[in-house]
Amino acid sequence: MELWFMGTSAGMPIAERNVTSVALNLTRPKGTFWLFDCGEGTQHRLLQSPLKLSRLTKLFITHLHGDHLFGVPGLLSSRSSLGGVEPLDVYGPPGLREFIDTALRLSGTHLDYPLNVREIEEEGLVLDGEGYTVECAPLDHRIFCLGYRVAEKPRAGALCVDVLAAAGVPPGPAYGRLKAGEDLVLEDGRIVRAADVLCDPIPGRVVAVMGDTRPCEGAVRLARGADALVYEATFGADLAEKAELYGHSTSVQAAEIARAAGASRLLMTHFSSRYGREDLALLEEQARSVFPRSDAALELEPYAVPTPPRRGR
């Protein structure tokens, strides 16, 4: 599982940064990825990454401000042109369906795949399947804005091969059945229970992606115990009043959310155009004074979300 930032700029792009979008490259199912927000130019950034647009399966929009949304019509069209035929599920606030339908209708754009748009009005479970759950909650911005929590479901632990060998279970299909959680009856009538020959399950990873927001309880809930928290740091610590006025957070406030949530790592994004790349070190320094594992996300750099170590019995 990796995070790739397609855009980290707030409001408008600058020469070295695109507007907001972050991709979650999944290991299950292999080769697919999800996208959170889609500012103008996102598909151009994808061309510079190893991610293939035809393998995009889900798109999550946090809110309807243009720097998070204006890239959607072009991306949908290009996915079709590039041979994408599998359904695409799109989630976001009320008004998202009207925006997409209007853009496609007025431009005469035809899609060669089913497009499923689900508008979300309140906190709750967004999806449960394909090895993951996704929850959302409203944040505190100038317009209705969502944050998302992606939780990978636990995976079965490794088989205790030495125990199986001692029981006389030969390698082969029987191993697969036990790995899948099925108990096995041997020829002599003995029962080998899957629970007795599997190491502890591997905990799933959790990634929380916030839209634009002031510090709020919803963000803390979604980020609770996250392995990676993607959170905006539009302004430096000296501009807290401006952040409050415009519904944003500072670098220090981002770190405070990560600390309060007990997250493992903070990846800051959505930087004001006043900050060039050389200024991001200051934002990191400010955040790290509160939460040491804070980084200013760089575009087109992979950020791995490590698999928790296997635990023996």
Catalytic residues, by residue number, are 67
**Can you tell me which residue has the tokens 């599997």?**
198
68 is in an annotated binding site: yes
Rounded CA separation 101/38 (Å): 16
Residue type, 34: W
Burial of 131: CB neighbours in 10 Å, binned 0-12, 13-18, 19+? middle
* Three-state secondary structure call for residue 125: strand
DSSP of 145-193:
-EEEEEEEPPBPPPB-HHHHHHTT--SSHHHHHHHTT--EE-TTS-EE-
Q: For residue 309, what are the CA distances in angstroms to 124, 201, 249?
A: 30, 10, 34
Phi, psi of 21 (to 5 degrees): -175, 140
295 carries a ligand binding annotation:
no
248 labelled as ligand-binding?
no
Residue 65 is labelled as binding a ligand: yes
Q: Is 141 known to sit in a ligand binding site?
A: yes
- Contact between residue 195 and residue 217 where contact means Cβ atoms under 8 Å apart: no
Residues in CB range of 309: below 8 A, 6 or more apart: none
Enter the tokens of residue 194. 């899957």
In single-letter form, the type of residue at position 308 comes to P
Q: Residues at the annotated binding site for Zn(2+)?
A: 63, 65, 67-68, 141, 212, 270
Q: Residues at the annotated binding site?
A: 63, 65, 67-68, 141, 212, 270
